[in-house]
Every structure is written in structure tokens, then in C-alpha cells.
Amino acid sequence: MTEPFHRNIKGINQAFKERDIQRMAKEKKLPYVNLATIPLNPDFVSFLEEARARFASVAVFLKSGKKLKLAATDPDLPATKALVESLQTQGYEISIHLASQESLDSAYRVYTRVITPTKEETTAIKEVGSFAEEIQTLELLKKKVENSPSDIALHTIAVGAYRTRSSDIHFQPEQEEVLVRFRIDGVLQHVFDLPRKVYEGILTQIKYMAHMKANIVEVPQDGQYAFTAEGKLMNVRTSTLPTQYGEACVLRLLDSERTFSDFRELGYRGQAIQDIEAAVGLSHGMILITGPTGSGKTTTLYSMLKKIDVNVKKVITLEDPIEYRLAGISQSQVDPDRKFDFATGLCSILRQDPDVIMVGEIRDLETAETAAQASLTGHLVISTLHTNSSVEAIPRLVNMGVRSFILAPALKLIVAQRLVRKLCPACMTTSPLTSSEIAFFEPAIAQMNSKGMKTVMPSSFKRAKGCLQCSQTGYLGQTAIAEALRFDDSLRDMILENRSMPEIYRYVHEDVKMATVQEDGLLKVLEGITTLEEVIRVTA
């Protein structure tokens, strides 16, 4: 009984010590950390040689690019000050957290578990980012990842994704290994498989950098961090999900320096551009962008905001999360943990006297009705909704519970869009239409001509082939295919009269003669921008 009793007393004494350190940290206005209670990444701790860390009474417990978090017993010690100054002259941004000596000792024990990289591994680490762009060469990347510390391995994968124009990195645990896949131009491409132990280190690194809880694996988590690739700052949105074989992780890469194109460069054309620009210039009303996840809705939203003169109009956004920073615009992020969701946030925004409000997504009746009412009281409201077509947004909002006498006058424009891959200009080929393609296009062209699009049956199509430039996919880049539904008095009357959806559909396609998403895609097939397979893939 004696040994457990002494261990208990020791634990109690240590708890009192940690409370004293916490109190001192508060007095010194410094953050506090107890390294004994958090899992430590050996790659971070070993950033400083053990002798140097012990001499300065510090330990590195987090490293993100040029940002370092140091645990220190006393930041005013001469040795500690000298170390901080030395690191700062090397370009590091230092954040000091107060910690007990016992806390540091728990970090120092990590040194006995650190494996020193071999000469071959060190060379591989120095060459991070030097591999070719083509996805076929990424097998070389696997060797670097498996033989590098976790932070270098993660950075290597991230740079590889950046160089191959990937929007997402998927880590998918299987029974034996972990699949690593990049989403390139909207399509997942398998890169390689990782040993589970290597992935565990990478996942721990992701959680540290994204300020997620490393010891929680049974519930989903979200976070954010940033990395630099070839001088460009990339923001990363992280998401983990418990699965049968462990935590799956998806990283969404967001270019912090991205500039938003005009609508023509996004893929819009003709009447759709005129309708969008006219709607964005209105003083009030509601504009909705619809489509599934990954259809480019956010990009179109931001492009709309860029059309607004922020010098004469106040623009406020409510997002989840904030993906890109826009100059001259007040951007706020929802935080459900603090009861700041889209509905409550929108009410708060209205008290800020905005001219234009961007709501990241309409998910419930309260948000939908508040947004609609705001659009009727002198505000232009721009938002997104998950529906397959522009017309389907009407019954979706009605089914949510938005009353028709509010909805009808509020709606000004609904845009539906998808993203299709563009043919690689370096390798695309031309060949005659097959009999099945002719059978598909004949009625489609007749329908488009009835809407005044003036199309003719081609004798050949541009087709995907594949080369090194496009990573053998045959496609390079993406473009939007879209439809824009402009609301007129007749359509508003039909909503007010609660007319059936078949009647509304018939009016939109026969009287308004709106070009559908698929028809816009077929026009781009005829122009040699994309392929029929791509259009069917995203619209069928």
C-alpha cells in the first residue's frame, strides 16, 4: 500500500505545483502549458538539440513553418532570452508558454525516442518540392514521405498536391494501409498507399497544426492551418472522421492569394452573364447559387462580391468557414459552440447597417426567412443552397416553410452550376461522332434551337487523350457550366398562387427559354472545351 500512497501524494503535490505555474502565467500575461498532459511530436521536440534545450530551460512543443511554440520555466532567464533572440534572427516567430520543470522533463524524455535521419533521408528532405508535376512521378514522393519526420512528410505531400493543382488531399485508412488520393480537377486520383504507422505520425502532425485534439479519435474534428509552397501561402481546411479502420482525414487546399475572375473566365456566357451582373447591381433582393458540394458555388459567390463597389457599399459576410480574405469586406465566421450560427449571425449582421450581405449557406427555415425578409427591406442578400437545378430551389424553400408572399418578391436570380474538366490543349484529338452520340445529340440540338441557341450537328468531337502535361488524364483545369433563372412578374405570380411545380417547370423552359446546365455543357462540347462524357458525369 505504501508505493501507491506515495505515488498519490506525489501526484497531488505536482497538481499544486502546476496550479502555481498557472497563477504565475496569468500574472505575467503568458499562456500556460503542461507538456505532461499532451502527446508530444518527437519531430517538434528534436528541432532543438537536447543539450541546447536543457541549457535554455525550454522545449519546442509545436512547429508550423517559421512559427515555434516554446515551453519555458522562466522567459527572463539569460539563456532563454539568448536562445529566443537567436531563433528570431533566423526568421522564426516565437510564442512562449510558461511551464513547470517537470513539464519540460516529460518533453526531454522524447529525445531518447528520436531516430536520427540517415544521410539518404536527409538528402530526400532537402529535395522536398523538387519532384515533377505529373502524378505518375509521385511514387518517388512515397519514399520521401516514409523516410522523413512527420512534419516534412506532411509538407511533402501538401506541396505535391499543390503542384498537381489538387483541391483536396484524402487520407483513407484501409485494413492494411492508408490510401492517399488527390482530387485533381474535381476527380479523385490515387497517388500511393502509406503504412499505417507513417500515417499516424502525419495525422498527429495535422492535428497539432490545425489546433485539433490529438487524443480524441472517436468523434469528428475540424480545424485550419497554413503552409508555404514555392513562396505562396496556402490555407488548409482539415476534417477528420472516425471510420472502421481508423480516422480518415481530408485536407482542402485554399490559395490565400487567389484572385477571383470575371464571370466569363469562370465559364459563364451570354445572357447568364448579363443576368448575373444586373442582379449584383440591384439595391435589394435575393440571389442564390445552387449546386452540389464541389460545384464552385463559393468561387461564384466571391466573384459576385468582387463586382460590388465597397467604397460606397458596406458588405458583410457570414461564412463557415472563411475561405478567402477579401479587401474592404467585413467577414465573420459562424461558431456553433458559441451559439453564433447562420440564423443568429444574420440577425446580428442586420444591426450593422449593411448594403450587401453574403450568407455562406441557407440550411434552415430561420436563416431562409430572415434572409428573404432582409432582401425586402433594402438589402442585397447573396447565398447558396444545395439543389440540383435553379428551379428546384423554389420547392426547396417552400418545403422549408418560407411563405410564398415573402419568397416571391424576394427572389431576383437563382443560378445553378457544375464544374467540368477542360480538355488538355496539348494532347486533345479529334474523331467522328459515334452512332450513340448522334442519337443523344439530335433531340438535344432540336431542343436548344427551339430556345434560340442556333446549334448544328457536328461531324466530329474533340476528345481526351492524355500526356505528361495533364498527368495522363486528358484534361487540364475546370470550367463552369451553368443556368441562370431570372425572376419576372409571371414567375412571381405563379409562386404567389402556389401553382404546381410541373407548371413552373413548363413556364421556365418553354416561355423563359432558359438554357439548362446540361445544355450549357453541350454547347461547350460543341466548342471543343470539354467532352460529352464530362457533361454527363456531372449532370446525369
- Residue 394 is predicted with a pLDDT of 95
- Residue 473 is predicted with a pLDDT of 82
pLDDT at position 444 over 60? yes
DSSP string, 340-386: B-HHHHHHHHHTT--SEEEES---SHHHHHHHHHHHTTT-EEEEEE-
- Nearby residues of 246 by Cβ (< 8 Å), 6 or more positions away: 173, 178, 196, 199, 217
Nearest partner of 381 among 351, 349, 404, 403, judged by Cα: 349
DSSP code at position 86: H
Q: What's the number of CA atoms in the CB half-sphere (13 Å) around residue 166?
A: 29
- Residue 12 is predicted with a pLDDT of 55
Question: How would you class 264 by CB atoms within 10 Å of its CB: exposed for 0-12, middle for 13-18, buried for 19 or more?
Answer: exposed
d(CA 436, CA 270): 30
Nearest partner of 438 among 460, 422, 420, judged by Cα: 460
Q: What is the mean pLDDT of residues 45-74?
A: 85
Of residues 62 and 5, the one with the higher pLDDT is 62
- Residue 129 is predicted with a pLDDT of 38
Structural domains in the chain, CATH included, are: 2-113 (3.30.300.160), 119-255 (3.30.450.90), 263-539 (3.40.50.300)
Mean pLDDT of the chain: 86
pLDDT at position 486 over 90? yes
Q: Any idea how long the chain is?
A: 540
d(CA 525, CA 529): 6
188-197, 317-326, 378-387 — which one is most confidently predicted on average?
378-387
pTM (predicted TM-score) = 0.70
d(CA 500, CA 394): 11
CA distances from 402 to 284, 394, 498 (A): 18, 10, 12
38-52, 136-150, 409-423 — which one is most confidently predicted on average?
409-423
Q: What's the number of CA atoms in the CB half-sphere (13 Å) around residue 83?
A: 28
Grid coordinates representing 95?
510564442
pLDDT at position 488 over 80? yes
- Residue 103 is predicted with a pLDDT of 86
pLDDT tens track for 338-362? 788 888 889 889 999 999 999 989 9
d(CA 234, CA 225): 9
Q: What is the mean pLDDT of residues 224-250?
A: 89
Residue type, 101: Q
Q: What's the number of CA atoms in the CB half-sphere (13 Å) around residue 410?
A: 26
Binning pLDDT at 50, 70 and 90, where does residue 139 land? low
